[in-house]
Amino acid sequence: MKLNASLLPQHLDHLKLPFIQEHYAALAQQCAQQHENHVEYLRRLIEGEYTQRRQRVIERRVKAARFPVLKTLEQFRWDWPKKINRLQVQNLFRLEFVAQKANVVLLGTVGLGKTHLATALGYAACQEGYAVLFADAISVINDLSAAHKRGLLRWGGRGGGGAKDCTLYNCTVTGNSGGGADGTLHNCLVTGNEGGSGGNLYGCTVVGNNGGVSGTVFNSIVYYNTGGNYGEGTTLNFSCTTPLPTNGVGNITGPPLFMDMAAGDFRLREDSPCIDAGTNLLSFPIKEWRYVEDVGDYDWVTVGHITDPTDMLGNTRFIDGNFDGKVAWDIGAYEFNSFKPPRFTVQPQPTPDGWRLNIAGAPNKWARLQRSSDLKTWEDLWFGWMGAEGVRQCNDGDMGQKVMFYRAVVP
């Protein structure tokens, strides 16, 4: 079989190898001029792809950390504090305290560089693969004040309240006696809670709760909730609910038709009215509840825009699920995947050297094994062919993360 060279860019794009796609021709010419062999050519391509991908992951972590200003240890002025244990501070940047689940407290008067060191420590943690969130005391107080003002500050306990005054991505909120979720939710499943949910919901499935939703809702299924699916003043757009709301546009009614609601499978059936009935939320503004100094009160503030066109399982939203020739987003947390990819399983096993990951799936199928510490940012751990028996074993030696999630992804 002769390979059609003109299809190479298309194949590289399908495999999500942007560096190789952009540089393979120039590097081939350069290696030929320098009389380098094919192994060196391949090494340079793979090294470039790895470096670029690792840098993108670090950039996403740094952005998610919300540092006010980036600071590094190299920029710190050791001559400014009159007394500081330099070796002890430098030893912190080995990040052993993270693996030990210990705290670091920096004490000193104003202007000695405590915030600088804290920011630099967080930045170093981002570079080593940790999820970081920077928050100063004022931000914490403001968040608590906002929660208290909205009646969301409460004591938790066994079976207590759900997620309150927060931002969630690709999460399941269930089994809470104090309510579901309140905040900003993206691609979330909210079910089996003894209370409603509110805030801003994007691409969510809210079903089987003792209470509906309030706030502003986009591309979401809000159905089968006792006491009403939505409260007075709620705005729903391109959502599936009943009765048909008067606030908002693009809404539909009628059973959403899940695969198996009784078994907790809320994916869409191929005859669901929610398929291709949503709207494109890419670049849509993301809002969070914050204190506005100019107004002197709390309000929903635009803090960013939706940049990830995938559903709760990582499937692309750009699928023509009902075969009408138009690509559109589905309503709910799960995009209907008309291609029906084979189901893969990942079984992690702890070993002294890290996690042993046993992948099982379809034989001779191309797959990617990915990992994440926050269910939002995913990075490749392995990719390749499953082989004739449909099994593969990989290792992850990173034991530093408190929590790690794994998934198998197929084209």
**Residue entry with tokens 């559903």:** 311
pLDDT of 341 strictly over 80:
no
> What is the separation, in whole angstroms, between the first and last Cα of the chain?
23
CA pair distance 3, 309, nearest whole angstrom = 32
Better-scored residue on pLDDT, 292 or 45: 45
16-20, 67-71, 93-97, 406-410 — which is least confidently predicted? 406-410
CB atoms within 10 A of CB 115: 16
Q: Of 33-37, 105-109, 364-368, where does the model show the most confidence?
A: 33-37
pTM summary value: 0.46
For residue 151, pLDDT beyond 60: no
Determine the pLDDT at residue 321: 78
Residues of the chain with pLDDT > 90, as a percent, come to: 21
Residues of the chain with pLDDT > 70: what percent? 82
β-bridge partners, 217: 201, 236
Q: Identify the pLDDT of residue 346.
A: 67
User: Would you state the pLDDT for residue 164?
Assistant: 65
Q: What is the pLDDT of residues 21-37, one digit of tens each?
A: 888 889 888 888 988 89
Contacts of 45 by beta carbon, 8 Å cutoff, 6+ apart: 19, 20, 23, 24, 27
Q: Is 165:150 a contact under the CB 8 Å cutoff?
A: yes
pLDDT at 308: 66
pLDDT of residue 298: 62
Q: Is the pLDDT of residue 337 over 80?
A: no
The CA-based angle 179-184-187, given to 5 degrees, is 90
Please give the pLDDT value at position 1.
Answer: 47
Highest averaged pLDDT of the listed ranges 49-53, 57-61, 201-205, 279-283: 201-205
Q: How large is the average pLDDT for residues 178-184?
A: 76
Residue 290: band (very low, low, confident or very high) from pLDDT cuts 50, 70, 90: low
**Half-sphere exposure of residue 50: CA atoms within 13 angstroms, side-chain side:** 9
Among residues 204, 186, 216, 197, which one has the least CA distance to residue 240? 204
Q: Verify cis geometry, omega within 30 degrees of 0, for the bond prior to 68.
A: no
* Residue located via tokens 């309503």: 331
Strand partners, 349: 356
**What's the gap between Cα 399 and its chain centre?**
21
pLDDT at position 72 is 92
Look at residue 204 in the predicted model and tell me its pLDDT: 94
Name the least confident of 48-57, 100-109, 343-352: 343-352
Two structure tokens written together for 200: 């801003």
The Cα 164–Cα 153 span in angstroms is 8
pLDDT above 70: residue 400? no
Beta-sheet pairing, 205-207 with 189-191: parallel
* 3-state class (DSSP) for residue 57: helix
d(CA 258, CA 277): 15
Contact 49, 86 (CB under 8 A): no
Q: Which segment of 241-255, 256-270, 397-411 scores lowest on mean pLDDT?
A: 397-411
In the chain, the amino acid numbered 90 is: Q
Mean pLDDT, residues 160-171: 68
Calculate mean pLDDT across residues 47-72: 86
pLDDT value at position 288? 66
Q: Which two tokens stand for residue 410?
A: 């197929």
Note the pLDDT of residue 156: 35
- Determine the pLDDT at residue 256: 95
Buried b / exposed e across 248-275, counting CB within 10 Å, b at 16+?
beebbeeebebeebeeeebbbbeebbbb
Best CA proximity match to 267, nearest among 214, 326, 309, 205: 205
CA distance 241 to 246: 12
Q: Which among 220, 222, 317 has a CA at the least distance from the CA of 276?
A: 317
SS (HEC) of 331-352: CCCCCCCCCCCCCCEEEEEEEC
**The pLDDT value given to residue 192:** 87
- Rounded CA separation 17/344 (Å): 22
**DSSP β-bridge partners for residue 189:** 172, 205
Mean pLDDT to the nearest integer, 139-151:
62
For position 244, what pLDDT does the model report?
92
How high is the pLDDT of residue 195?
Answer: 82
pLDDT for 294 beyond 80: no
